[in-house]
Structure 1
Amino acid sequence: MLTIALAVGCGALVGFALGLIGGGGSILATPLLLYVVGIEQTHIAIGTSALAVSVNAFGNFATHARAGHVWWRCAIVFAAIGTLGALAGSTFGKAMDGERLLFLFGLVMIVVGAFMLKPRQPTNAAPHDTNLKTCVLTGAVALIAGGVSGFFGIGGGFLIVPGLILATGMPTINAVGSSLLAVGAFGLATALNYAQSGLIDWPVTAQFIIGGLAGGFAGMAAAKRLAGSKDMLSRVFAVLIFVVAGYILYQSRGAFLS
Structure 2
Amino acid sequence: MPDPVSILSGLCCGVVIGFTLGLIGGGGSILAVPLLLYVVGLADPHQAIGTSALAVTINAFFSLSSHARARRVRWKCAALFTCAGILGAGLGASMGKIIDGQRLLFLFALIMLVVGTLMLRGSRNGDDAAHGPERTAPLPIVLYGVVTGFCSGFFGIGGGFLIVPALLAATGMPMLNAVGTSLVA
Shorter-chain TM-score tier:
0.7 to 0.9
Q: Secondary structure at the match of 2:53?
A: helix
- State the 4+ residue runs in structure 1 displaced beyond 6 angstroms: none
Conserved in 2, the CA contact under 8 Å of 1:23 and 1:156?
yes
Matches within 5 A, 1:149-164: 149-164=152-167
Aligned residue among 33, 37, 41 for 2:40: 37
1:148 partnered with 2:151: yes
Conserved in 1, the CA contact under 8 Å of 2:25 and 2:182?
no
Conserved in 1, the CA contact under 8 Å of 2:74 and 2:177?
yes
Q: State the identity %.
A: 55
Q: Secondary structure at the match of 1:26?
A: helix
Matches within 5 A, 1:53-68: 53-68=56-71
Q: Which residue of 2 aligns with 1:110?
A: 113
Q: Which has the higher contact order (CA 8 A, sep 6+)?
A: 1
1:10 partnered with 2:13: yes
Query: Deviations along 1:65-114, whole A, 9 cap, x unmatched?
Result: 01111111111111111111112111211111111112212212322432
1:90 partnered with 2:93: yes
Conserved in 2, the CA contact under 8 Å of 1:18 and 1:26?
no
- Quick one: distance in 1 between partners of 2:32 and 2:71? 28
Aligned residue among 150, 172, 175 for 1:172: 175
Structure exhibiting the larger radius of gyration computed from Cα positions: 1
Amino acid at match of 2:133: A
Conserved in 2, the CA contact under 8 Å of 1:125 and 1:171?
no
Runs of 5+ unmatched residues, structure 2: none
- Quick one: distance in 2 between partners of 1:103 and 1:171? 32
Amino acid at match of 2:141: T
Q: Which residue of 2 aligns with 1:121?
A: 127
Query: Deviations along 1:32-64, whole A, 9 cap, x unmatched?
Result: 111111111111110000111111111111110
Amino acid at match of 1:49: S
Matches within 5 A, 1:242-257: none
Q: Which moved more, 1:105-114 or 1:4-13?
A: 105-114
Deviation at 1:116, TM superposition (A): 4.8
Q: Secondary structure at the match of 2:61?
A: helix
Q: Secondary structure at the match of 1:126?
A: coil
Amino acid at match of 1:6: S
Amino acid at match of 1:55: I
1:137 partnered with 2:144: no
- Quick one: distance in 2 between partners of 1:83 and 1:103? 24
**TM-score normalised over the length of structure 2:** 0.86
Query: Deviations along 1:199-238, whole A, 9 cap, x unmatched?
Result: xxxxxxxxxxxxxxxxxxxxxxxxxxxxxxxxxxxxxxxx
Deviation at 1:148, TM superposition (A): 0.8
Q: How many residues matched?
A: 178
Deviation at 1:154, TM superposition (A): 2.3
Amino acid at match of 2:142: G
Conserved in 1, the CA contact under 8 Å of 2:86 and 2:146?
yes
Amino acid at match of 2:74: W
Task: Calculate the aligned-residue CA RMSD, in Å.
Answer: 1.9
Q: Which moved more, 1:145-154 or 1:47-56?
A: 145-154
